[in-house]
Structure 1
């Protein structure tokens, strides 16, 4: 259970963000839960530190369901939260694909745009790692998300090839770069 003074609100928001980032479920006003597994420990500890710095308090309890049905209900709630996370991730992969398709359609083959797309891909990779770490019950959407992330990397690699091909058509410095070197330089592989 976490209690934090109402003002300033930034402290409550910081703790809330940290708990969400850790994968905790909100069970009610100031009550959060995660499975009792090491993968959640660092995030919960950080949330406790933030609460205490805000002159709040956190009480950490180990709890178990009173019955198999209680444990199953918690697992189902946790799975639903992870499924929502994966659904959002998959939607962002779709946005990434649409963005690159738009850049190809308008022939915007600049290094600045490529760098922006690489940063978006890296954000997706970090997010995927975070979701994978806290998806302890194994959502059925996780394999789809992994495949979709690989597809995004391939799309980015193709875009990088197009950017470098475009730049090759108008040589800068007169040095030809091979496809493998272009993909490695682009960071999409």
Structure 2
């Protein structure tokens, strides 16, 4: 290993005695809390940094206290799985966490629609606070900015507004402004690297219908510092991102007053793929989802992904424009 090629990963190789069984559960839960993913058999992996080194050392000491053996290695991947494949394991694990949180948030939102008494609203507020704490816990181990976070942030933000309105006895309002915003001209639009369906479609929508001279930057989601005049979309704390049950594409449609039936139909496709809630159930979802997956698989560069997705979306838009009823 050379100085120009530092270790990318920490590997924990651990072996525990068969009994008592609760020791295995205890170590497994600890590994889950620090965000480790199982690479193979008893080999767990984490990205190498100062914080994760400390975390994995604590787990190794815990394994020893339980009568087991543990080794901690810093390594590069030379054969078999590559870095991108291991990153995908982390993204999938955190997306599963975010999906579970989103389902809890939706259940809480359904409860909020049935609750009018103050005591019930206070219980909902406590439930919302619990979900926010859990979201913070997941975000701390979201090493590669899994896309599911925006969905949960949007759901919790809308739920917070709903509870606040109910407690102050104000009439409900739309979570997205009814008055269309002025359309930017030649702005720099920023989103997370590794664009997938919502970011692909939103970038296409921006360039074709909102800001034809738009410039795009694809950045690390967690470490990007906002530059002057940049507009962030489909990323945490972005100017245009998930709101309640709306994906970013739908938010852009509403914020800029785009009520074209073909665009609404496209928004329904993007919504069902991105939020995975089958809300609209359009028959085109399965085919479009496979196309998006193919684009992401075959084109690692975001500019290439956007170009390929834009061609597909141009064709879909043409079909929905000509199709009676969108």
TM-score of the two chains, using structure 2 as the length reference: 0.44
Residues 115 and 121 in structure 2, CA contact (< 8 A), matched pair in contact too: no
Give the strand-richer structure, 1 or 2.
Answer: 2
Residues 23 and 40 in structure 1, CA contact (< 8 A), matched pair in contact too: no
In structure 1, the partner of 2:114 is 102
Residues 114 and 160 in structure 1, CA contact (< 8 A), matched pair in contact too: yes
Gapped runs of 5+ residues in structure 2? 1-12, 170-326
Aligned equivalent of 2:124, options 105, 117, 126 = 117
In structure 1, the partner of 2:159 is 152
Give the helix-richer structure, 1 or 2.
Answer: 1
Q: Deviations over 1:121-163 (max 9, x none)?
A: 122111111222222222222222222221222233234435x
Q: Deviations over 1:35-57 (max 9, x none)?
A: 11334345433422332221222
In structure 1, the partner of 2:138 is 131
Q: Distance between the aligned counterparts of 1:45 and 1:153, measured in 2?
A: 39
Q: Deviations over 1:89-111 (max 9, x none)?
A: 2111112212222334xxxx253
TM-score of the two chains, using structure 1 as the length reference: 0.72
> For residues 92 and 155 of structure 1, do their structure 2 counterparts lie closer, same or farther at Cα, with a shift above 3 Å needed?
same
Aligned equivalent of 2:147, options 137, 140, 149 = 140
Q: Secondary structure at the match of 2:72?
A: coil
Q: Secondary structure at the match of 2:39?
A: strand
Q: Distance between the aligned counterparts of 2:167 and 2:52, measured in 1?
A: 37
In structure 2, the partner of 1:172 is none
> For residues 12 and 151 of structure 1, do their structure 2 counterparts lie closer, same or farther at Cα, with a shift above 3 Å needed?
same
Residues 51 and 58 in structure 1, CA contact (< 8 A), matched pair in contact too: yes
Q: Distance between the aligned counterparts of 1:23 and 1:157, measured in 2?
A: 33
Q: Deviations over 1:73-102 (max 9, x none)?
A: 111222121222221221111122122223
> Comparing both chains, which one has the higher relative contact order based on Cα–Cα distances under 8 Å and sequence gaps of 6 or more?
1
In structure 2, the partner of 1:22 is 34
Gapped runs of 5+ residues in structure 1? 163-189
Superposition misfits of 4+ residues, deviation over 4 angstroms: none
Cα offset, 1:9, TM superposition: 1.4
> What RMSD in Å do the two structures reach over aligned CA positions?
2.3
Q: Distance between the aligned counterparts of 2:83 and 2:15, measured in 1?
A: 26
Aligned equivalent of 1:84, options 87, 93, 96 = 96
In structure 1, the partner of 2:68 is 56
Q: Distance between the aligned counterparts of 1:129 and 1:53, measured in 2?
A: 30
Residues 4 and 12 in structure 1, CA contact (< 8 A), matched pair in contact too: yes
> For residues 39 and 5 of structure 1, do their structure 2 counterparts lie closer, same or farther at Cα, with a shift above 3 Å needed?
same
Aligned equivalent of 1:75, options 61, 66, 87 = 87
